[in-house]
Amino acid sequence: MKFEIIKTNLVNISADAIVLPANTKLKEGSGTSAAIFEAAGRKHLTAACKKIGTCDVGSAVPTLAFNLDAKYIIHAVVSKWIDGEHGEYDLLSSAYLSSLRVADVMGCSSIAFPLLASGNNGYNPKLAFQIARDSIESFDGANLKIIILVLFDDPITKYAKDQGFDVLKIPVDLKKEEAKRMQKDKNPGITNAGKAMAQIL
């Protein structure tokens, strides 16, 4: 299983599953959440989330990806940072692992995460990166072959490189086809995920 890091906009990524940082009511939020809702198609994604209803912190649920270059969106409900004494480490790790399990069970070979909880949820980005890395590297699935962590900001990208990771940079304003070509050059195993017609379990 390959763990790759890419600096770009998450909605430019081609993968079987794209992870959305969600709240317990699965409503559209700001930042990455809003970008995914917009790119996927706000009307259809909102309706799919309403059908599911709610999801617990640390858990994850799937919907179809609609207009994204993916089969599924996995809604990972992330915790807010309080003081480090309220299970924040375990809850964030659980959001990653729950997402990975859902994707693996659904037969996905690739999944792309944003750096969960590093924005409005208040986690220190370096700590959020460490939890992401440890959680992803601890996962052993049957179907997932490529796990991508997508970074957006320069400081956390530099931190990832300082930790020894090779970071592929795809400009956020690059045309989608060129972004896909760069990603596939990095990971030849990634193919166009297309649109899934399967029913969500």
53 lies in which domain range? 2-186
Contact by Cβ (8 Å): 77, 22: yes
Q: Are 143 and 109 in contact (CB under 8 A)?
A: yes
Number of domains in the chain: 1
Domain assignment present for 124: yes
Q: Does 194 reside within a domain?
A: no
Average pLDDT (70-88) is 95
* pLDDT tens-digit series, residues 2-24: 999 999 999 989 999 999 999 99
The domain spanning residue 32 has which CATH number? 3.40.220.10
Residue with tokens 């940082």: 21
- The edge-to-edge listing of strands for the beta sheet with 167-169 is 60-64, 72-77, 17-22, 110-114, 146-151, 2-7, 167-169
The answer to whether residues 138 and 175 touch, using CB atoms and an 8 Å cutoff, is: no
User: Domain for residue 65, yes or no?
Assistant: yes
Domain-embedded: residue 180: yes
pLDDT in tens, 89-143: 999 999 999 999 999 999 999 999 999 999 889 999 999 999 999 999 999 999 9
Q: Does the residue 92 lie in any domain?
A: yes
The residue to which tokens 């590297």 are assigned: 137
